[in-house]
A and B are shown apart, each in its own frame.
Chain A
Amino acid sequence: MIYIPSITAIAIFAAFVAFTLGLSFYFARKTSSASSYFAAGGQIHWFVNGVAFAGDYLSAASFLGICGMIAFYGYDGFLYSIGFLAGWIVALLVVAEPLKRLGKYTFADALDAKFRSPGIKLAAGISTLVVSLFYLIPQMVGAGALVRPLLGFNHATGVCLVGAIVVLIVVTAGMVSTTYVQFLKGSLLVVFSTILTVAILNRGFHVDSTDDPNVHPRVVATLAGQETPMITEGWQGGVYQRTKNSQTGEVTVWRQMPNGATSQFYECQTITLTHDGKKLVNGKPQGTESGEGDLFPVGSVVNLPDGATETGPLGPMSFFRTLEGSTVLLWTEDKTKITDHDGNVTTVYYPKPTSGSDVLLPGNSPTFSGLRQEGLLPKLNFLSLMLALFFGTASLPHILIRYYTVKDQSAARKSTVVGITSIGFFYVLTLYIGLGAMTGGTLDVTNSNMAAPLLSRGFGEFLFACISAIAFTTVLGTVAGLIVAAAGAVVHDLLTGFCKMELTDHEKVRIGRIGAIGVGMLAIVLGILFEKMNVSFLVGWAFSVAASANMPSLAMLLFWRGTTRQGIIAGIMVGMISSLGWVLLSADAFKDVYGLDPKQSLVPFNQPGIVTIPLGFATVFLVSLLTRGKQTAAASN
Chain B
Amino acid sequence: MVLHDHAHSGEDETELVIARNARLGRWLFVGYLALYLGYMWMVSFRPDLMRMMPGGGLNTAIWYGFGLIIAAIVLSFVYGWLCRKKDSAP
Contact = CB atoms under 8 A, between A and B. Distances in A.
Contacts of B11: 101, 408-409
Given A104-B8, A321-B57, A383 B40 contact: yes
A232 to B, nearest CB: 43
B3 interface: yes
A202 interface: no
B30 to A, nearest CB: 9
Given A102-B3, A360-B62, A88 B72 contact: yes
A89 B76 contact: yes
Given A86-B68, A417-B77, A561-B1, A357 B45 contact: no
A496 to B, nearest CB: 16
A413 interface: yes
A558 interface: yes
Given A413-B79, A559-B1, A357 B69 contact: no
Given A362-B47, A417-B79, 11 more contacts: A79-B43, A85-B69, A86-B36, A88-B76, A97-B25, A320-B58, A324-B58, A417-B77, A417-B80, A424-B70, A424-B72
B76 A420 contact: yes
A407 B56 CA distance: 45
Q: For the complex of A and B, list the 5 residue pairs with the smallest distance between their C-beta atoms, beginning with the closest.
A: A321-B57, A93-B25, A93-B29, A379-B44, A420-B76
A409 B3 CA distance: 13
B60 to A, nearest CB: 9
A253 to B, nearest CB: 34
A92 B58 contact: no
A362 B3 CA distance: 43
Interface in A336-376: 357, 360-363, 371-372
Given A93-B29, A97-B21, A371-B43, A421 B76 contact: yes
A357 B76 CA distance: 32
Contacts of A543: none
A413 B9 CA distance: 15
Nearest to B36: A86
A81 B80 CA distance: 23
Contacts of A145: none
Nearest to B1: A561
Interface string B3-44: 111001111110000100110011011001000100110011
Interface string B70-90: 101101110110010010000
B77 to A, nearest CB: 6
A414 interface: yes
Nearest to A105: B8
B65 interface: yes
15 contacts: A81-B69, A82-B69, A89-B29, A89-B75, A93-B32, A94-B26, A101-B3, A114-B3, A317-B57, A321-B56, A360-B61, A416-B76, A424-B72, A425-B73, A428-B66
Nearest to B13: A409
Interface in A264-318: 317-318
Nearest to B80: A417
B62 to A, nearest CB: 6
A413 B29 contact: no
A409 B73 contact: no
A89 B32 CA distance: 8
Contact of B62 (A92, A320, A382): A320
* Interface SS of A by simple majority: helix
A249 interface: no
A386 interface: yes
B88 to A, nearest CB: 15
Contact of B73 (A90, A94, A363, A420): A420
Interface in A393-420: 407-410, 413-414, 416-417, 420
Contacts, number: 148
A51 B77 CA distance: 15
B61 A361 contact: yes
Contact of B61 (A362, A407, A427): A362
A383 B44 contact: yes
B70 to A, nearest CB: 7
A420 B66 CA distance: 14
Nearest to B68: A82
A390 interface: yes
Contact of B22 (A88, A97, A324, A417): A97
Nearest to A387: B40
B62 A410 contact: no
A380 to B, nearest CB: 9
A420 B74 CA distance: 10
B9 A42 contact: yes
Interface in A73-101: 75, 78-79, 81-82, 85-86, 88-90, 92-94, 97-98, 100-101
B18 A97 contact: yes
B4 to A, nearest CB: 6
A206 to B, nearest CB: 19
Given A89-B72, A97-B18, A317 B51 contact: no
**Which of B11, B13, B70, B76 lies at the interface centre, i.e. has the most chain A CB atoms within 10 A of its CB?**
B76
Contacts of A529: none
Contacts of A561: 1
A510 B6 CA distance: 28
Contacts of B58: 317, 320-321, 324
A103 interface: yes
A410 B5 CA distance: 15
A598 B35 CA distance: 35
A95 to B, nearest CB: 10
B84 to A, nearest CB: 8
Contact of A413 (B26, B59, B80): B80
Contacts of B68: 82, 85-86
A413 B79 CA distance: 9
Given A101-B3, A360-B61, A414-B80, A93 B10 contact: no
A317 B4 CA distance: 48
Contacts of B22: 97-98
A81 B64 CA distance: 13
A79 B57 CA distance: 20
B9 to A, nearest CB: 5
B73 A82 contact: no
